[in-house]
A and B are shown apart, each in its own frame.
Chain A
Amino acid sequence: DSGVTQTPKHLITATGQRVTLRCSPRSGDLSVYWYQQSLDQGLQFLIQYYNGEERAKGNILERFSAQQFPDLHSELNLSSLELGDSALYFCASSRSGGDVKNIQYFGAGTRLSVL
């Protein structure tokens, strides 16, 4: 068990809808990262938050947004969903951010199916 908790485990929804994925980092970790894993794109970094502030952005679509709350949990919001958004979404956490030696610990993921 990595200590990173993601809910829900599975999400099935329809095109055009909006969903929220939740992540609770390991105790003491200040950074939260979101990744998308799909068959065609592999594992892609979406966005990182550090202690409530956005720190780095990757290949995140404008329809997607995220935030980190004062208790350090994070939510990833996906809107106007398309079939191509079906994927496994991982959250990871680490003690800090910006250190190349940083180890990221991953949650079990949320599997999103858009029908």
Chain B
Amino acid sequence: GNSVTQMEGPVTLSEEAFLTINCTYTATGYPSLFWYVQYPGEGLQLLLKATKADDKGSNKGFEATYRKETTSFHLEKGSVQVSDSAVYFCALSRSGYALNFGKGTSLLVTP
């Protein structure tokens, strides 16, 4: 079936450090891939998406590239801020109906 695996957290970084959160997926065909972010006490917000191989999604300094050959969609940011502290979810949509989510990676950025 369709599934998403992302790195376990929590991840703790100092402000201005480089961030990578790994995400790999298993799916037939050509899913769309998403990163959602959940700030404390809030719902999920779409951070970025990619709908076909080699697409790069980007938003607020975050980037992720859809790599079909490695079935990956790793999230990166060059310089994190304290305000980036949140839980990050990788997700795929194969059918256009359900989103299949990874377990989430908690990020804490310290000043």
Q: Which A positions have Cβ atoms within 8 angstroms of B? A: 2, 4, 6, 33, 35, 42-45, 48, 55-56, 58, 90, 92, 97-109
Contact = CB atoms under 8 A, between A and B. Distances in A.
B89 A43 contact: yes
Contacts of B96: 97-102
Given A90-B43, A106-B44, A42 B49 contact: no
B74 interface: no
Contacts of A35: 99
Prevailing SS type, chain B contact patch: loop
A100 B103 CA distance: 21
B32 interface: yes
B104 A100 contact: no
Contact of A103 (B43, B46, B103, B104): B46
Given A90-B43, A106-B43, A107-B43, A55 B49 contact: no
